[in-house]
Amino acid sequence: MDNQTQPDVSLRNSQFNFSNTPKNWLNNNLYISHMFDTSSIAIPYIEGLVNFSVKNVLDKIQDKQLYAACLKFIEQETSHAREHIKCNNRLNEHGYRFPSFISNFKKKLNYIRTKWSTLSIIAVGVGFECFTTIISNSVLEEKILAQPEMEIQQFWQWHMHEEIEHRSVLMDLYLHLGGGYLRRVVMLALVLGCYCYYGIKIYFGFLRVDKASFFAGLKCICGIKSFFLKSLFKTLPCFRYSYHPNQLSNPQLFRVNTK
């Protein structure tokens, strides 16, 4: 197994340094680099919301293994969010700032946090984890991150391996709390719709700052070879009644070292 599929244990809970990361950090290609940058912008807020919902139900978990998995999940997502904030600060320094998007997004998440039931927020998390597992699988299998020479490449590799590793935790928690099929698939559809809508808005915001070609950007995210588009199609089986995240991953990719 090569470096891409077998991260070193030293990458666990790592702190990354993003200074001196160029704008076109992946393959010298601005368009593909911004596909990752786009996800990074929203991730700390979404992971914060999901962690909030898991913390809210810890005292209702009867199963010791699931309880331990939830604690590990919170720990992993907290460190992901922390590193994404650092990554986003680097984007700010490059002149990519999306203040109206962020304040709007925060308001919406805050509404969800205060008005929705915890089970519905966990269902949002299940949908989000479903897509992050699939996209992580695609990126790692297709070796999109190339040789992880820069810290930002190692950072994404680390995050994606941990997403694959904890892919089942929220689904198991959701089922443990009595969550049903309809709520799960409605939330999955909502998550995918929002991911596309907000993702495209931010992505073209990046290109606007760069004065880069919108057509080339569109080709990158919607072209036949786009890992994003492929991942979106691969999400369709998640709407099945019998879906469980354990069915999704290439076992080669989640055999990671654990501390």
- Contact characters 193-222, Fe ion, x per CB under 5 A: ------------------------------
Does 167 contact Fe ion by CB under 5 A?
no
CB 190 within 8 A of CB 109: no
Per DSSP, 97 falls in state -
**Which residue's beta carbon is nearest to the bound Fe ion?**
80
Closest to Fe ion by CB, 81 or 200: 81
Residue span 92-131 as binding mask against Fe ion, x where in contact by CB under 5 A, dash where not: ----------------------------------------
Min separation Cβ 144 and Fe ion, Å: 17
Q: Rounded distance, CA 76 to CA 163, Å?
A: 9
Nearest distance from C-beta of residue 230 to Fe ion, angstroms: 20
Compute how many other C-beta atoms are within 10 angstroms of the C-beta atom of residue 140: 24
Helix (H) or strand (E) holding 209: helix 181-210
The candidate with the shortest Cα–Cα distance to 125, out of 153, 71, 163, 151, is 163
Q: Which of 163, 207, 228, 235 binds Fe ion (CB under 5 A)?
A: 163
Nearer to Fe ion, 77 or 151 (CB): 77
Over 143-196, what HEC string results?
CCCCCCCCHHHHHHHHHHHHHHHCCCHHHHHHHHCCCCHHHHHHHHHHHHHHHH
The residues of the shown chain that bind Fe ion, judged by CB under 5 A, are 77, 80, 163
